Structure 1
């Protein structure tokens, strides 16, 4: 008897069915049976299913003689199911990696409940993935299992069958089955949740819900959408037969009205001539099943009123009025924005006629404030107090700016005035379009980090990584630069080739890493406490690079499994490299999502080790002289899409793991902080951190702003003392003693005499 019976009905999904079935059969938890139901599909779905059955004995095939619809196709699959739990999956959706393993673990933790509810993410044809907006209802905090009365908020989730696992014995005992027609999930899901004696939740995305560009069956215009009325009649009949469920009638009534409003208001569902008839029938259902008691949100009361009285003409008038208002607002907004742009352009032209302010330095950074510009501002305030500093940052970042620094909002008149009149411009991002560099202005450009993947003009042959880069504008921006800050010889040679210009390279180190030398142990302790790192824990910073060859980003590691295998002492700080990474699919007190943290330097200081793949953060982290472990299972794919200036595996900063299990073994065995890891890191630091001694920002300011040439000497590598990590040092595994040399051979004929011999 398998643990899971995964039931996949298929009808006209031949383009997606292969990916769907593969996502099930490649699960890391193999104790399953896959029941694929061919609902007499006119395309190649049946042939695809037969091919999978021929190569994997876990696949059981059901060919229906006629098309019966999604609900009855699922019933046919359930009749042949033998697993402990039923899992439904539509033929165009997919299971996420390790989803069944997470389900099995959660079922074991919660004592095999009747129903386990898990999360999903909508995946769009563009590659975007958006997690369920009601994911907060799936929190695993609190007692489990429970009943619906303990967590009624679960009814706010999408009422579908495929975001839950059902104990097969419970389904048989409750007599649950899918009815015919559209919206067949409604009379299945509500009864399942209301009658379940035990329910548990899993706060993890286990299903990718495909949003097809052409839409799904429920987004086709048809009178079959009238089936929704029969489905709710079945739900209320189920409640009427069981007096113990009477308490749920007000909630069901409100959800029914919301559902009917959704069907009525969606323009792609009902034929134009059927909308009035639908609303009349909705009015009859409103009166038949009306059950006061459930609160109705204020914004939904208008819709409820329209359904209650069947006001079709009123609704049509309101919608036309709203559309007219929206159109007028959009046109007005476009005109106002055009006038504002013209006014700012004229203001900038006037400001350029005024003399430069030789005592003003303007800073801009990608993250609002931080990185190299943030370190350079601190150095300017310390070395040149006669200069005034100003920051261009969104209002949300203004509280992070130093006292006395002028705060400018991007795109305002004050911002353009500062661009026109500041003598020094320091930035780590592209300059504003339309900026004209004036005579006497000095532009200092800091880069994002030591280049590992291709950048600049080298991206012309890497369209996946270039992502529509305007190389003409890039070179125009380069022509504005006076100084480029570089960390090492490798960076200098790369920048000057891929960003050709007349600027001067300042190979003085990474200003942002100066904090690694000036921070104290108390600073590290404070940062760890602010992030929620338990005292005495080993904090691993996980920072993967963005995959240019993937439209939808995913984390190569199952972080929950990693910390579970490593034990309670380890904590992972998960830092997404790009917004497409989205929220963590699982969360606990030992996997901390720090994707939204604005300061990577603080995360480095708070951690005890770094796990990364191709991220330039490894070069910054090497300045700290803390362990680094490389992990990637797609070296070749990344190199082909992005291009690499060198293979990090050939010159690594520490241990290298090719799989998740190897990474776990590296930390479990202590190799991550062993002698070999230290030797590799020392060689890496010698090559890529020659100038990072805590005074890089001072050297840049003295040279680019103050015009000095007599700069502070670089502290030798072996004399630097970056702030140590806060975790209790782990003893590396003892090294095997070297073998003893063989005893020397004595010449023949000699007698050796010892004391007492």
Structure 2
């Protein structure tokens, strides 16, 4: 019989379907010379294994003798395995199709004792899931000693690895010598005893997890799973001490706190008092042995929770667990020496909350918390008891005016004003009664659910936060009159929600249509967009009509051109296109929703189109129509400027804006544009070129006020464009903002402005150092900033017209040897390099002065500050001027 290259040991857990799924994932491997050993201590998988073996003779059934000790099942499989390399597979889990072959090739190539690969966690019933600790498995490498990278202990599975049989026999590793929760102990032993081990970044193992808890945990309803984890951790501590690797104890302790204990701590808010008491009884004796260095590495609120648990302040420990995600601030905070502490007795360093940044946040992000108790729903009147907590002491000591805002349709909330009365230091209370029947409701469209918010205003700025119910509740009422009836539901969960469900007219379409016909109302019929456009194009063209489209915003080159046309007094009827909100558009123009009938008719009848992006093929040009294509994605990599396959957008362009010779050479040939080219610079950059004019200075000051930037702080505009991943999603910013905050927090403020498709949530702990710039115009942010940090976003060229420092962040990408003649500043890979550059910007300016000038010559030489006037004069030359 041919000896297999790899033996895969599968433990039967009594479920035939899960066992079959696991075994079939092995039989489907690209490595064909392998065997599957199903270890079946109870003997109840014999029939399933027999069916599998009949289908494929590589499957073997093994029922070990004895009492079926669960710690010995894998050992029993090892005793009968015939291959020089072995893997373990849990019933229900699956191997990736090339897992065995790729791991076998790697362990043979490197001579490692074992090789570990990435894991994907997949919930039961799902097909995909997130990667498990992905940073542990990158980059691909061989490691001689785990002490060089102790974080590897977080890879606590036995199943995502291939092992050399020689290694297992040499090290005498056995599961029966361990605990019930065997994998972490086994993994620690393997990492410590291996002479070298390999790591690969590709996914080799798909680990099925229940929605309630991890496999083998017994669920978290019972604490026996935690008891097994603690028993295994104690054995691991003993092994580290006996093997001379006690230096890894802090790393092992940290792994226990984050992997084993953390899920139980997160459960505290939803558990009964007896469960909380049981958790303390099980966990505290072992927590008292944990190295302080491990506890010090925990996130602050987990550290607080552990401290409270060890001090048997169990109700406070439950409350601390509610704050783990950082969005919910603590209720009770006291101060000593200007530092905030949990509870009413300041001074304990374990309860120091300074790193949460409670005191540094702008008012709009201040950590206000509004707990509520739902008192009842009488008719349509909702009664609430609100308790507001102000741990940062941003509210005045007296009564505070607040608004409860509830909306049944976007942008049109009911605003109910009330007074918050003082109830102690940093605490307020109020009884609120709001009539939900008064909430504006359109009566059409889908059912809606809203999360009411309490809004407090100060100095022209608003702080809005949701209500947090103390107890769950569900209440229902009917609102509205005959034919307009709807059901309103009040749901008290993690936050308070109010939902509206259509009734009456909305639920009786036939009767409603009949009433509408009898009333003479128009009945809306669906007509395809192409037909609407074609019919409107038969109407006479309006020679004074211009449609402006800046990707749904009032911004960019179209805005600058529009405002210049207004200054010229051109008699144009202007139509602006929005993508959902008409807020912020000029009052002297018509504003239409994209793809609405008004939009289609305007496009069909307009003489002029001005757009900063390619218009869809739906909009066929009429004779006499003129289309100006303005700004576009000005990335430094020309490949990103290419049109989509099969598209010829330039065939409709009458004029193309080319702000620089470099962009003209890169863009026009790609689109085969042979028409007029306006070599004027970018109209949107006029205000940036003339940044030192008084009006621009006031614009910058207004932006600083809106962002609540303290006086004396410098502003770093961080504008990551990101890169699309393999699935087409925009990557999140990967700069270590915590590192920047620690090094630069006293001097700089970061304004984060990512690509619109990759919006990045700012962690609460960083909201004193990082501001969200998505609500302001990009040009206003540029004018307010002192330097730019980006990863080669299209913004680089626009920013260069100001002459201010530009830093490029290139994490995860290799430096290119020709970067020097393409970029206007240093290419930085780590947060420490960014810190060093910002700490000496004068040096950066001097060192990169020639490259910056060369960059400006290549991309900004046509920027004069008067591009909008030149464009208006050229494109609207046939429009009569007034006066």
- 1:668 counterpart residue number: 839
Q: How does 1:104-183 map to 2 (within 5 A)?
A: 104=298, 106=300, 113-114=307-308, 136-137=327-328, 145-146=341-342
Distance 1:555 1:348, change over 3 A: closer
Candidates 670, 676, 679, aligned match of 1:498: 670
Please report the RMSD computed on the Cα atoms of aligned residues, expressed in angstroms: 5.3
Counterparts of 2:851 and 2:568 in 1: how far apart (Å)?
A: 37
- 2:229 counterpart residue number: 74
- 1:748 counterpart residue number: none
The alpha-carbon deviation at position 298 of structure 1 amounts to 2.4
Counterparts of 2:161 and 2:152 in 1: how far apart (Å)?
A: 25
Counterparts of 2:678 and 2:135 in 1: how far apart (Å)?
A: 51
The alpha-carbon deviation at position 78 of structure 1 amounts to 3.5
Partner SS, residue 390 of structure 1: strand
Partner SS, residue 512 of structure 1: helix
Counterparts of 1:296 and 1:374 in 2: how far apart (Å)?
A: 49
- 1:655 counterpart residue number: 826
- 1:88 counterpart residue number: 258
Preserved contact between residue 525 and residue 606 of structure 1 (Cα < 8 Å)? yes
Once the two structures are superposed, residues 401-436 of structure 1 have per-residue CA deviations (whole angstroms, 9 ceiling, x without a partner) of 223112112222221111011100001123144212
The question of 1:635 aligning with 2:813 is answered: yes
Q: Structure 1: any 5+ residue segments left out of the alignment?
A: 1-8, 60-65, 94-99, 121-131, 151-196, 205-292, 305-320, 333-337, 460-468, 640-645, 709-757
Partner SS, residue 770 of structure 2: strand
Distance 1:602 1:35, change over 3 A: closer
Partner SS, residue 533 of structure 1: coil
The question of 1:531 aligning with 2:712 is answered: no
Counterparts of 2:813 and 2:831 in 1: how far apart (Å)?
A: 14
Q: How does 1:381-420 map to 2 (within 5 A)?
A: 381-394=566-579, 396=581, 398-420=582-604
The question of 1:692 aligning with 2:692 is answered: no
Counterparts of 1:145 and 1:485 in 2: how far apart (Å)?
A: 58
Candidates 472, 475, 478, aligned match of 1:298: 475
Counterparts of 2:661 and 2:152 in 1: how far apart (Å)?
A: 57
- 2:774 counterpart residue number: 596
Counterparts of 1:392 and 1:697 in 2: how far apart (Å)?
A: 20
The question of 1:509 aligning with 2:628 is answered: no
Distance 1:444 1:53, change over 3 A: farther
Candidates 363, 372, 379, aligned match of 2:564: 379
The question of 1:358 aligning with 2:543 is answered: yes
The alpha-carbon deviation at position 377 of structure 1 amounts to 0.8
Distance 1:26 1:395, change over 3 A: closer
Preserved contact between residue 550 and residue 556 of structure 2 (Cα < 8 Å)? yes
Candidates 576, 580, 588, aligned match of 2:754: 576
Preserved contact between residue 482 and residue 504 of structure 1 (Cα < 8 Å)? yes
The alpha-carbon deviation at position 573 of structure 1 amounts to 0.7
Partner SS, residue 821 of structure 2: coil
| Higher-strand-fraction structure | 2
Q: How does 1:597-612 map to 2 (within 5 A)?
A: 597=775, 599-612=777-790
Distance 1:691 1:68, change over 3 A: closer
The alpha-carbon deviation at position 399 of structure 1 amounts to 3.1
Counterparts of 2:332 and 2:808 in 1: how far apart (Å)?
A: 33
Counterparts of 2:330 and 2:795 in 1: how far apart (Å)?
A: 32
The alpha-carbon deviation at position 522 of structure 1 amounts to 1.9
Preserved contact between residue 140 and residue 203 of structure 1 (Cα < 8 Å)? no
The alpha-carbon deviation at position 582 of structure 1 amounts to 3.2
Preserved contact between residue 393 and residue 409 of structure 1 (Cα < 8 Å)? yes
Preserved contact between residue 699 and residue 780 of structure 2 (Cα < 8 Å)? no
The alpha-carbon deviation at position 584 of structure 1 amounts to 2.5
The alpha-carbon deviation at position 445 of structure 1 amounts to 0.7
Counterparts of 1:14 and 1:199 in 2: how far apart (Å)?
A: 45
- 1:489 counterpart residue number: 661
Preserved contact between residue 364 and residue 428 of structure 1 (Cα < 8 Å)? yes
Candidates 153, 158, 165, aligned match of 1:34: 153
Counterparts of 2:558 and 2:295 in 1: how far apart (Å)?
A: 45
| Higher-helix-fraction structure | 1
Preserved contact between residue 631 and residue 658 of structure 1 (Cα < 8 Å)? yes
Counterparts of 2:158 and 2:638 in 1: how far apart (Å)?
A: 49
Distance 1:534 1:13, change over 3 A: farther
Q: TM-score, normalised by structure 2?
A: 0.49
The alpha-carbon deviation at position 546 of structure 1 amounts to 2.0
Distance 1:523 1:139, change over 3 A: farther
Q: Structure 2: any 5+ residue segments left out of the alignment?
A: 1-87, 97-117, 121-130, 140-146, 164-182, 199-214, 220-224, 238-248, 264-293, 310-316, 335-339, 358-469, 478-486, 490-500, 513-522
Q: How does 1:445-460 map to 2 (within 5 A)?
A: 445-455=629-639, 458=642
Counterparts of 1:119 and 1:425 in 2: how far apart (Å)?
A: 57
The alpha-carbon deviation at position 616 of structure 1 amounts to 1.4
Per mean C-alpha deviation after superposition, the further-off stretch among 580-589 and 422-431 is 580-589
Counterparts of 2:259 and 2:303 in 1: how far apart (Å)?
A: 24
Distance 1:456 1:341, change over 3 A: farther
The question of 1:436 aligning with 2:636 is answered: no
Counterparts of 2:653 and 2:548 in 1: how far apart (Å)?
A: 14
